Structures are given as C-alpha cells and as structure tokens.
Structure 1
C-alpha cells in the first residue's frame, strides 16, 4: 500500500480562495473556516459559501478551474468529481456545499485523522528547530481503510490519500491535483515558479 500527499496543481489550474467577508457573513466570527484547518465539524452551522478561483502563479494567465483542488487540508470537488469519489469519503467527513462560477460544488471537510487509527509512524516524523515539517510517515498496515485523511502532526495542513483514491482521480482524468509519495514535502513537486503575491 502506498500513501500519497495531495497537492494542488498550481502550474496548470487555478486555486480556490474564500474571502473573509464571505465567511463572516455566512458563518460568523466564531468559525474562521477559511484560515483554520482544524477538523472541526461545520455541518450544523453551514451556509453555502461562494468561493472563487485565481491563478497561483504570477506568470500564468489562462488557467482553468479544476475538477478537484486542495486547500488547508480540505478537498474541493465539482459535482461530477464528487459522485466519483463519494464512496471513498469516510462517515466522519463532511461534504459542505459551495457555489463557484455559478455552479454548485463541495468542500470535503476531511475529519478522519491518522491518529484515529494509531497510524502515525513517529519514527519517521521530524520537525526542524522552528517547528516546520521535515518528514512524516504513516503505518500503512493501520491505514488500509483510510482513503482521505489528515494528521495533527502537521497541524492538519496536509491531505493524504490512498492508492485507490489516486487511481479514481487519474482514470477519470479529473484535473487540479497532483500526488507525491514524499509525504513531508509541503510544496507541489512540479512548481518552479514564484507564487502570486496577494
């Protein structure tokens, strides 16, 4: 079994963003969903958010909106992508409705943690003196049932997936994410350009 880190394909597709005003207007100031990656439950207070997409790379102009993307450890999907991966979403996760470009989509609030399976391999986990992630590992034999998950070890920022999830994305040519077996690398492997300044 191989576990992969999921990255947004910032070289070829736009990335999602959610404005602070939108979150404050819809969810209130107690629920900073757009900046807090913690796997809190939002379904009870959720109101459909309007989200936007923009280029992540300053030198790229004509990028398309992806079928799937990842931000703050959560997965965005359009409707067709959601139907393809729905069976791999755990019953702990939440499919939160969003609107983008006059279309419905979902942000999957991934609440399943490697810690739920005692699946963090502490012998392969390391942070530098500043607390930045250098490496991370999981006990694959304990993570067999987890198709999308996060971990407290990296402050819930990373999204990790199974081979089965990766296969569905690739066989159905769903655009917007890439996969890396280098679980400790927080940067998309293909990007060599500077991010767009905000």
Structure 2
C-alpha cells in the first residue's frame, strides 16, 4: 500500500469560494460550524440542510486565466463536482461526510469532510513525524498497516490541514482524468508552488 497527500494545484485552477452570508445565516454564526473558516473534522449535516452556494471566480490578477477544477482540496476538505462524486463515493463514503453544494452555474456538487483521524487508531508514526522549533511541519509519517481500511484520512499532528489517501483514490482520480489536484509522497506538504512541473507530471 502507498500513501499520498492530495495537493490542490492552485497555479492552474480556481479555488472554491463559499457564500459566507448563507453559512452565517444557517449556522447562526456558530464558529464550530463555520465550514468556510473551520477545518476541524466534525459533522455539519445537522446544521446545513440545504445545498451550500459556492463560486469559482478570479478575484485577482494572478488568478486570471485559471479555470474551474473538477475537484479541489481546501482546508482539509474536498470539493467534488458531480462526475468526481460519482466515481469517488464508493471509495470514500465510509471515511467522512458529504454535503450538497451548488455552484455559480447551478451545477450540483459536493463538499466532503474527511472524519478519519490517524491518531484515533495510533496510526501516526510519532518517531518519524516531527515539527521544527517554530511548530512548522517537517515530516509526516504513518503506520500504513493500521490504515489499510481507510481510503482518506487526516492527522491532528498538522492541524487536520492535509488529506492523505490510499493509492486506490489516486488511481481512480487519474484514471478518470479529473483535473485540479496532484499527489505527492511528501506527506503533509500542501504547497503546490513547491512542486515543479516535472514532479506534477510524474505523480
């Protein structure tokens, strides 16, 4: 089994922007359920009972020319368009929670919050995982044998910020040709500007 971190390629694709006004209204501005701000792995299904509105648009000169992706990974969550949802649902349905979205063109989509946490089954390799003196992640490692039944998961060690996945998820996304993310074995690294084109094309 191989593990990867899924990285959003924000050099080519637009990020998802929440309708924060809608979220504030539906959540009564409860910070635990500000899904637009809070990436902690908790369920939101009891709070958001209608599709959440999202948009993809260029809001800066740097984003001009970028296009809407099939999927993103932002704050430890997936955005999935309908095509990606149809492919990934059977693989990841037991690993988190799906909520319906609707984009600026009226298309159905989904946000997926991974709820599996490596530390809950002692799958974080505490010997190899480390941070520097400023608390920044230097290395993230897991006991892979303990994670064989999980398709996607996160770790408290790096603030739940990245999504790690089984190679079956990588293969499904790449086989279908979905655009918006790439994969790295440098677990926990989500800075797409640290990966050159050669790395992206090989992974």
Q: Same fold (TM over 0.5)?
A: yes
Match of 2:112 in 1: 108
Aligned partners of 1:12, 1:160: CA distance in 2, in Å? 21
Q: Structure 2: where are the runs of 5+ without partners? A: 198-203
Task: Name the structure 1 match of 2:27.
Answer: 27
Deviation for aligned residue 1:92: 4.7
Alignment of 1:1-198 (within 5 A): 1-30=1-30, 31-46=33-48, 47-55=50-58, 58-101=61-104, 102-188=106-192, 189-190=194-195
Instruction: Return the alpha-carbon distance in structure 2 between the equivalents of residues 191 and 33 of structure 1.
Output: 31
1:164 is displaced (CA, Å) by 0.4
Match of 1:195 in 2: none
Q: Quick check: which one's helix share is greater? A: 2
TM-score (norm 1): 0.90
- TM-score (norm: length of structure 2): 0.88
Q: CA deviation at 1:152?
A: 0.8
**How far, CA to CA, are the matches of 2:128 and 2:113 in structure 1?**
26
Aligned residues: 192
In structure 1, the gaps of 5 or more residues are 193-198
Q: What's the CA shift for 1:127? A: 1.1
Q: CA RMSD in A?
A: 1.9
CA distance in 2, matches of 1:25, 1:60: 29
